[in-house]
Structure 1
Amino acid sequence: MLGSVAEADDALQEAWLRASAAGTEGVANLGGWLTTVVSRVCLNTLRTRRTRREDLFDEPPGSLVPERAAGGDGARDPEEEALLADSVGVALLVVLDRLSPAERLAFVLHDMFAVPFDDIGPMLERTPASARQLASRARRRVKGAETPPGRDPVRRRQVVDAFLSATRGGDFEALVGLLHPDVVLRADAAVVPTPEPVVVLGAHTVARGAMAAVGRARFTGPVRIDGAIGLAMARHGRLAVALAFTIVEGLITEIDVVAEPERLRALDLAVPEGR
């Protein structure tokens, strides 16, 4: 619901305090009552969550490009956050983060936990029919637009998955093998950060830059960006960086690294098929 283990812990603790204060004697359906309490706590958290872009990484954004990498061993990041990203899927987390709090609650409770709309409606102070519409609208956004014609989504997914696997594993040679010798990486100013966007040329140079982002790769997953498979980097379920790829004959020829908030908001993100 929240995309963050830490926030989930806080929500559960607050729900426990409320339950302890109110008492549960006479509650006929304790599970349903607790589900309602926790859901409302999560709803309040989503409504009050700061909208500004947060610095969610130990290392500064410059680690995405070579010769600007900085230290940071990721000690602030609990292993549970990485496990959450893998189990739920980074794409789903970042798409959920774009929904309204009411849409998110309706979709998650119904589609992921099979809570009936008759129970969801009162949590949102809406009718069950209205809750159903919220979940349906969220479902369409999660699914996204159709893949543009003329692309080979299976092959593209294989290449992007291999890029992520090689980055996570620190396999420099495998990365070089996926990149066209004249590959071009463009990173906007917010990625580095610098006053101007950065352009990196050549397979070996781009691969060295990817090696500097091994820690972040734990919080990265495939996502559809404007209909084509790409990668999203997120911490606590909030999109920080997106990577769009141009792939020709099985090799990556261009990588566009996006971190500017305005550009991120303009991207059409969706969960890849098969998730």
Structure 2
Amino acid sequence: MEGVKHIVAVASGKGGVGKSTVTVNLALAMAAEGYRVGLLDADIYGPSQAQMLGIAPGVRPQPAGENAFKPLEAHGLQAMSMAFMVDIDEPMVWRGPMVAGAFQQLLNQTAWKDLDYLFVDMPPGTGDVQLTLAQKVPVSGAVIVTTPQDIALLDAKKGIEMFRKVNVPVLGVVENMSQHVCSQCGHQEPIFGSGGGERIAEQYQTRLLGQLPLDGAIREQVDGGKPSVIADPEGNVAQTFRQVARSVAEGIDAQSDESPTISFGE
């Protein structure tokens, strides 16, 4: 893709596991490592990255030539989302082909500027729409987000299988909400179970990239438009995301050594 070296899909088999929160923090962590980073919100039905990046409702991208738009910039990221194009309170009552077309326009008609990494916040699930979107994107690798809960792990496995069927390397798994941390005493408790991320990574011969706590501060920070990597850059959560970002970069470098061109199959 013009203006983009590597595309990384961040996906989950189901909603509610914190995929968008992980995506925005991972993108910011990669930028903190010194790379030029973009973020594409591919969740057409439920875009959330505008709020997470602190971009006010109603802000629209500026044109770049006749058939392109300049990405908006926030916290050092280049960003594009359906939320920048429509009233975010209006539901997108669209069929699959319309969603796929909108996604392709967001991707191909955004004038990305010399990005090292473009993170794509994929819609949850592995259905027809998700596969249609995936086949249009030349992806260097995928990151799977899950919680330790058995039901979430079942869906995460389907996500891994989907990417493998279309020949996209899975760079690893991020386990979100791995431990609840009491804000009063600091006690940690695995509310959703424990060890799930490690088991799924071992089963599919991939890496457990990181484990994130169930912490109210993470939610408050993204809701307020300043994700953890920006709000508390020296904190444990931000440092975990920095380590995940380094692991993603290492994984993509390793894939590039093995094969010069990796993309979704048709």
TM-score class normalised by the smaller sequence: under 0.3
**1 or 2 for the larger relative contact order (CA 8 Å, sep ≥6)?**
2
Q: Output the TM-score relative to the length of structure 1.
A: 0.24
From the two aligned structures, give the one with the greater helix fraction: 1
